[in-house]
Chain A
């Protein structure tokens, strides 16, 4: 083989594309696994909420602290709320939330499905005619698609709240003035596009992690590798997809 790494790359890309095709073929088919979907929504959303909220709060506080000094050099401290809102809602909130969730969920999903594969639980589902792909993969990917935007909204709110608390402690800023300045510079399209693009990130994280876990061959060592790869690959794909989505945003809605 002349370019073995290139061959491996295309092999993985092909496997992921096939997996995505299977997802779109299966997602419409009945019976829908409603009970499992609710469990996965809980796993993806409720159990990740604290992590997302803490991250959001820290981002807001740090962004506010660091930006004030920089803005003060240009005599532009008054635009701090607008800058915070634009940064958090358009970019930092969606991307950081997606990366945090990619770390938490990517490893978890790949490790869980990988363990099920090596202990023959997926085979057991298959021989019992229980459609393991629909039960395990479709539900997890759907849960990620639904919960990533909701988690992003939560992160955005807390980040702005953190930013306001830091700003008010430093400069006695009234919350009505902060909110007024923050939201006056935002368009509805900023909020809608930035939040809904995380559904795409959720799809990427869910699908990549499921694919790596579901296709594990071997033993516990391979399960560990799949968990690690799920975090790395899905994080990289989220960042690449973000570049593409920002470009689309600029084309559709301008700067």
Chain B
């Protein structure tokens, strides 16, 4: 059984696609109300690891506990109930193109709450104000810039007030100002809402701003763990190469 202080516990996770082994026994724990950065080069299995936490993928071997529950034995309805406690920020935002920004968020609220239309709209405006994008309410995703899409996707990810947030490359492709804006929003989330955050990133600035701790993945294994400063000072050649 996992430690009760850990919101997420992953033990000896293995995953292969065809003959290609992506994860080779990854184990990690994420304590409540902390922010963990999962770092590493491209193709090291970071996004695959994140998708296992919400069971978008099933592991070949290994076990995952979220909020003390082993997710591979949950029924579909139990899994859905658990998923509602997890917000997921996808790499490209994954906003629904056919809906406006407001509809993207209202879609979640309509399906999962019994709020009135007025109350839902208030909640949406509050979330948009939080990411400082109220004027975008009536726009479609195609009309937004990359940074705006990420912020709207973040607002959508937290609209149901989850207690865990999983972020897949939240700052990839953004300019330095937008990187700082998105990263600071993640810091505020943890500070103001006691949220537990796992961020997949190879962006050092984002990791430095947001993370209390980090793990470094290499060839499907955890190569090092510690604070960002500790990882930067690590002697291993892969880490020295990564952090320059």
Across the interface, do B86 and A121 meet the contact criterion of CB distance under 8 Å? no
List the A residue with the shortest CB-CB distance to B110: A35
B108 at the binding interface (Cβ < 8 Å): yes
B20 at the binding interface (Cβ < 8 Å): no
A124 at the binding interface (Cβ < 8 Å): yes
1/0 contact trace for A112-126 toward B, CB 8 Å?
000110011101101
Across the interface, do B91 and A128 meet the contact criterion of CB distance under 8 Å? no
Number of A-B contacts (CB under 8 A): 46
Q: How far apart are the CA atoms of A120 and B95 in the complex, in Å?
A: 9
List the A residue with the shortest CB-CB distance to B57: A123
B85-105 residues at the A interface, CB under 8 angstroms: 86, 88, 90-92, 94-97
A17 at the binding interface (Cβ < 8 Å): no
A123-152 residues at the B interface, CB under 8 angstroms: 123-124, 126-130
Assess A123 versus B112: contact at CB under 8 Å? Given A128-B83, A129-B80, A130-B107: no
Q: How far apart are the CA atoms of A27 and B191 in the complex, in Å?
A: 43
B237 to chain A, nearest CB (A): 33
Give every chain B residue within 8 A of A126 (Cβ-Cβ): 56
Please tell me the number of chain A residues within 8 Å of chain B, measured between CB atoms.
13
Assess A119 versus B112: contact at CB under 8 Å? Given A127-B56, A128-B83, A130-B107: no
Across the interface, do B86 and A127 meet the contact criterion of CB distance under 8 Å? yes
B198 to chain A, nearest CB (A): 13
Assess A127 versus B112: contact at CB under 8 Å? Given A120-B94, A121-B94, A121-B97: no
Give every chain B residue within 8 A of A130 (Cβ-Cβ): 107-108, 111
B63 at the binding interface (Cβ < 8 Å): no
Across the interface, do A129 and B94 meet the contact criterion of CB distance under 8 Å? no
Give every chain A residue within 8 A of B92 (Cβ-Cβ): 119-120
List the B residue with the shortest CB-CB distance to A126: B56
Give every chain A residue within 8 A of B90 (Cβ-Cβ): 120, 123-124
Q: How far apart are the CA atoms of A119 and B92 in the complex, in Å?
A: 7
B84 at the binding interface (Cβ < 8 Å): yes
B14 to chain A, nearest CB (A): 21
Q: How far apart are the CA atoms of A129 and B88 in the complex, in Å?
A: 12
Assess A129 versus B91: contact at CB under 8 Å? Given A121-B96, A121-B97: no
Q: How far apart are the CA atoms of A123 and B88 in the complex, in Å?
A: 10
Contact residues of B with A, CB < 8 Å? Answer: 51, 54, 56, 79-81, 83-84, 86, 88, 90-92, 94-97, 107-108, 111-112, 160
| 17 pairs from A and B in contact (CB 8 Å cutoff) | A120-B92, A121-B94, A121-B96, A121-B97, A123-B94, A126-B56, A127-B83, A127-B86, A127-B88, A128-B83, A128-B108, A128-B111, A129-B81, A129-B83, A129-B84, A129-B112, A130-B107
Beyond contacts A121-B95, A124-B96, A128-B112: 11 other A-B pairs, Cβ-Cβ < 8 A, are A115-B97, A116-B96, A119-B97, A120-B91, A121-B97, A124-B88, A127-B56, A127-B88, A129-B80, A129-B83, A130-B107
Contact residues of A with B, CB < 8 Å? Answer: 31, 115-116, 119-121, 123-124, 126-130
